[in-house]
Structure 1
Amino acid sequence: MRHLISIAAFIATCAVLVWVFLPDPVPVETAPITRGDVTVRVEAEGEARVREVVVISAPITGLLQRVTLHPGDAVTAGQVLAQIGPVTPALLDSRARAVAESTAAAAAAAVELARSQLVQAEASLTFARAEADRTRALFERAALSQRMLDDAVLAERTAEATLASARANLAVREKELDSAKAMLNGDYAEDTACCIHVTSPVTGRILGVRTEDEQVLQAGTPIMEVGDLQDLEIMVSVLSREAVNIAEGAEATITGWGGPDLAARVERVEPGATTKISALGIEEQRVEVRLSLLAPAPPALGHGFRVTARITIDMAQNILRVPVSALFRSKGDWAVYSVEDGKAALQIVSLGRRNDEFAEVLDGLTEGATVIVHPADTVENGSAVEEKPLIGG
């Protein structure tokens, strides 16, 4: 009897020692493998912008009157947005005036010279015509040769051409004199015409004023931008490897602009990519994707506002799914720790579609199984674990 008691005491002592030195179960959070929907989205930053921005430019070179309108002001088609008047000629300094006076005097002398040349040409023509008439009369009486008649006719025609040239030269010299007088007297000219009205071709709001102060503008200089804030589109830039999966007409959600989510759809995926530098200094090929809102834009959303677009590229319903937080890499394969009889069991899984929350399970797990989410480094295959269901999982 004492022998049996000693054996029992020894076994109890060993059991106590084993119990004392056994590692405590690792507390883990778990989640069940369920069926549900998995929607795959591409998320990218972009901006809201007016679809048709009208740039109002100066139609002529002139003096812009100060613009009194400001960004946000409502305008209607045909409303006067700005006024441009003629530029007042600059006053001449003493040196420029002396040069202008000399130029005007030279032009006046040239006019007198041209008039003298005209009088000379007229006299030469009168004499040549008289000589030609006498030569024709003598030729008819056979008193002169054909050669002498031809010389007289040539002299007459030459005198006519010389007269025409003298008249044209006089007209040129008179215009030069007018130009010299205009340059000399330009600083005394008074501007009476003002102004050319620059009107809005569309109804909308002023998006920005590029030139506000009174100043001289060259023709074509932008003055302001006008657009309809109700006609907004969303432009986002996505990586080219993601753009290949985006189809025109795909659903999208606009978030991150400070208001409620907005429904949109893909209107166009640009056919070309551009190279851009990321915040980390990495070159990326990005493609512009244009989205249209399904409802009128809210008044709070404006031109150039930063937004985040979530574009749906794939969706599956009622599929077996596992939380992404339970996945990790094991020798190049995706794996999870399932909980079986209070212990962690390493399971290699095959995955299909995946988003930020769930991944589709193709093989390796069954519905109703329990997996460990956010497994710590202390969890290993066969480790004892203590389950704590994931809150909200």
Structure 2
Amino acid sequence: MQKFAARATWTAVALACAGAAAWALWPKPVPADFAAVARGALEVTVEDEGVTRIRDVYTVSAPVTGKLMRAPLRVGDEVVAGDTVVAIIEPTMPAFLDVRTQRVNEAAVEAASAAVALAEAQVRQARSQLDFAEADLRRARELAERQALPERALEKARLDAALAEASLASARATREVRRQELESARARLIQPTEIDSKAAACCIQARSPVSGRVLRVVVESEQVVQAGAPLMELGDPAALEIAVDLLSRDAVRVKEGAAARIESWGGEPALAARVRRIEPSGFTKVSALGIEEQRVKTILDLVDPPERWRRLGHGFRVVARIAVWQGEDVLLVPLGALFRKGDSWAVFAVSGGRARLRTIEIGERNLHAARVVSGLSAGEEVVLHPSDRIQDGTRVARRE
């Protein structure tokens, strides 16, 4: 009896040890994060940095060469079109003539004076010819009245008188041209010391062509500037737009009129915008990593009232998100559950406490979710970010 009891005890101990070993070595469920497949709204966007800019920037240039007075305005000052003086320029006095130029101009004056004298002589000659032709015409008329002169001779006298009158008018016009040439030649002889500074106009004032604010003062200190030199940039901050340099592969997905959000502009919430124009030509831009990228400039207009973005100015950095696809009530799967299986997309669907490999077909996707075309149903759970410990049929448990 004692032997039987001892054998039963050892048998119980052996079974207990075997059960403990089996329990210790039995595979435990792999902890994982789960997410549900559900229906909802999906928006696909392209994102890139942009810069705010005033739609029309006016550059005020120097109308003449001269000494520019110190800028009367500062950056940010308000200007009124046609009223605010933005620059004052004192025209430069003409340079002194050297000896050779002086003599050339004096010779030109003498030649112009001789030309005037010649023109005067031509006028006198034309006047004499006209007087003779008119007298001859009077005699011809008297003879024609007595029928002592043929009609052809009378017509010839009239023609000679008309030609003489035209010659006189031409000679007078030539004389006027020669007189003006003489005045021009004399003007080139004027030295700066002969100019009456009080009689000459002191300064030329350049006025603002637009109402708005001063964006940039190109030349601030008093200095001599050449005609056409840029002096100041002006613009209306209320006419603000956003320029975004999109990658060419993203630009082809964007349509004019597409909705957009402006983020990271320094305020909350995001601003509403709309795509106005996609430029038809691209350009090469080198990224911070030294990679050449083909970019396309895309212009956006702000939709929100100006009171919301009044603090934005010219040249501010923003982030633009432009919608390229939108869907309502579509089946969504978290992007973190997707992985590649050959040429297809796959997920681990949770069924009966085990992970089941499921090949699915997806459509549009963004940074958070993808639209399920086939392979999953609403309400199913999938494993997020599956590790290499999870295979088809692996027991899984929700991570606590």
TM-score interval (norm. to shorter): 0.7 to 0.9
Deviations 1:191-230 (A, max 9, x none): 5224443333544321223455541324xx7543333334
Number of the residue aligned with 1:200: 208
Match of 2:73 among 50, 69, 76: 69
In structure 1, C-alpha distance between the alignment counterparts of 2:161 and 2:363, rounded to whole Å? 104
Q: Distance in 2 between matches of 1:368 and 1:144?
A: 126
Between the aligned partners of 1:164 and 1:286, the Cα distance in structure 2 is: 65
Residues 377, 147 of structure 1: alpha-carbon distance in 2 compared, 3 angstrom cutoff: same
Change (3 A) 1:295 1:351: farther
CA contact (8 A) 2:62 2:225 kept: no
Letter in 1 for 2:43: V
Q: 2:96 aligns with which of 70, 91, 99?
A: 91
CA separation in 2, counterparts of 1:366 and 1:276?
A: 45
RMSD: 4.2
For residue 189 of structure 2, what is the aligned residue in structure 1? 184
1:277 is aligned with what amino acid?
T
**Residue 112 (structure 1) shift:** 1.8
Say which is worse superposed, 29-38 or 169-178, in terms of deviation: 29-38
**Matched residue type, 2:52:** A
1:94, CA displacement in angstroms? 2.0
Distance 1:351 1:171 in 2: 89
Answering whether residue 34 of structure 2 is matched by residue 31 of structure 1, we say yes
Q: 2:110 aligns with which of 97, 102, 105?
A: 105
Residue 37 to residue 295, structure 1, CA distance change in 2 (3 Å): farther
CA distance in 1: counterparts of 2:145 and 2:243, whole angstroms:
95
1:215 paired to 2:221 = no
* Change beyond 3 A, Cα 1:377–1:304: same
Q: Which residue of 2 aligns with 1:347?
A: 358
The Cα of 1:96 is off from its aligned counterpart by 1.6
Q: Contact 2:278/2:297 (CA < 8 Å) preserved in 1?
A: no
One-letter amino acid of the structure 2 residue matched with residue 226 of structure 1: L
Instruction: Provide structure 2 residue ranges, at least 5 long, that are not aligned to the other structure.
Output: none
Map 1:116-265 to 2 at 5 A: 116-127=121-132, 129=134, 158-185=163-190, 187=192, 188-190=194-196, 192-210=200-218, 212=220, 214-218=224-228, 223-238=231-246, 239-244=250-255, 248=258, 250=259, 252-265=260-273
Aligned amino acid, residue 316 of structure 1:
E
Contact 1:38-1:354 at 8 Å conserved across structures: no
| Residues 1:40 and 2:43 are matched in the alignment | yes
Partner of 1:303: 314
Correspondence for 1:49 among 46, 50, 53: 53
Contact conserved, 1:125 with 1:159, CA < 8 A, in 2?
Answer: yes
Equivalent in the alignment of 1:270: 277
Amino acid in the other structure paired with 1:43: V
Change (3 A) 1:343 1:155: closer
Deviations 1:230-255 (A, max 9, x none): 443334455244214x755x4x4321
Aligned CA distance change for structure 1 residues 108 and 368 (closer, same or farther; 3 Å): same
Please give the secondary structure, in 1, of the residue aligned with 2:265: coil
Q: How many residues align?
A: 379
Amino acid at match of 2:58: V
Q: What residue in structure 2 maps to residue 114 of structure 1? A: 119
Paired residues of 2:336 and 2:385 also in contact (CA < 8 A): yes
Q: Distance in 2 between matches of 1:154 and 1:79?
A: 64
Gap regions ≥5 residues in structure 1: none
Contact 2:279 2:296 in 1 (8 A): no
The equivalent of 1:328 in structure 2 is 339
Deviation at 1:304, TM superposition (A): 2.0
Q: Distance in 2 between matches of 1:322 and 1:161?
A: 98
**Mapped partners of 1:8, 1:186: distance in 2:** 129
- Distance apart, 1:359 and its partner CA: 3.0
CA contact (8 A) 1:82 1:199 kept: yes
Assess, with a 3 A threshold, how the Cα gap between structure 1 residues 323 and 283 changes in structure 2: closer, same or farther: same
After TM superposition, give the deviation of residue 12 of structure 1 in Å: 5.9
Q: 1:314 aligns with which of 322, 326, 346?
A: 326
The separation in 1 between residues aligned to 2:140 and 2:210, in whole angstroms, is 79
Deviation larger for 275-284 or 4-13: 4-13
SS at match of 1:118: helix
SS at match of 2:72: coil
The Cα of 1:30 is off from its aligned counterpart by 0.5
CA gap of 1:152–1:350, structure 2 versus 1, over 3 A, is closer
Cα deviation for residue 89 of structure 1 reads 2.8
TM-superposition CA deviations, 1:161-196 (whole Å, max 9, x none): 443333232222111111111112164434522444
Deviation at 1:100, TM superposition (A): 0.8
In structure 1, what is the Cα distance between the partners aligned to 2:279 and 2:376?
Answer: 42
Q: Under a length normalisation based on structure 1, what TM-score does the superposition of the two structures give? A: 0.76
- Aligned residues of 1:34 and 1:320 also touching (Cα < 8 A): yes
Q: Distance in 2 between matches of 1:113 and 1:8?
A: 147
Matched residue SS, 1:184: coil
Counterpart secondary structure, 1:185: coil
Indicate conservation of the 8 Å contact 1:33/1:366, yes or no.
Answer: no
Looking at structure 1, the residues matched to 171 and 17 of structure 2 have their Cα atoms a distance apart, in angstroms, of 141
Q: Percent identity?
A: 35
What is the TM-score normalised by the length of structure 2? 0.74
Higher deviation after alignment, 127-136 or 169-178? 127-136
The whole-number CA distance in structure 2 between the counterparts of 1:262 and 1:314 is: 18
